[in-house]
Amino acid sequence: MPPHRSILWYPSLTLAVIYLLGTVFGGIGLGEIALHPASPPISQSEERNAEASAQQNFVEFRDVELVTQDDVLEKPARRVL
């Protein structure tokens, strides 16, 4: 005959599993946010200011595309030359 379990056993086990899953996935989410924070897009005025400053300092901006060894195309924002 199986041992008799308390009526609180299954709800407690369910809450423990939910808590464990929440902490694991919550930690993964917080780690993702900490390592890869969102950055706002560059505004037109910021871009104009950067280009004007670059021209004053004889710096050239170029759009570049990089192809990795596994043929993935990466486009950095801009490269300063």
Amino acid letter for position 27: G
Map out the domains of the chain as residue ranges.
9-36+45-80
What local confidence, expressed as pLDDT, does residue 79 receive?
47
In terms of phi and psi (left: phi > 0; alpha: psi -120 to 50; beta: otherwise), the region of 29 is alpha
Task: Kindly state the helix (H) or strand (E) to which residue 46 belongs, with its residue range.
Answer: helix 44-56
Please give the chain's pLDDT, 81 residues, in tens.
466 778 888 999 999 999 999 999 999 999 999 998 887 888 889 989 988 998 898 888 777 778 888 888 877 655 444
What local confidence, expressed as pLDDT, does residue 18 receive?
98
Task: Count CB atoms within 10 A of the CB of residue 78.
Answer: 15
CA 4 to each of CA 13, 51, 77: distance values in angstroms, whole numbers, following the listed order? 15, 76, 64
* Distance from the Cα of residue 10 to its chain's centroid: 37
Q: What is the pTM of this model?
A: 0.48
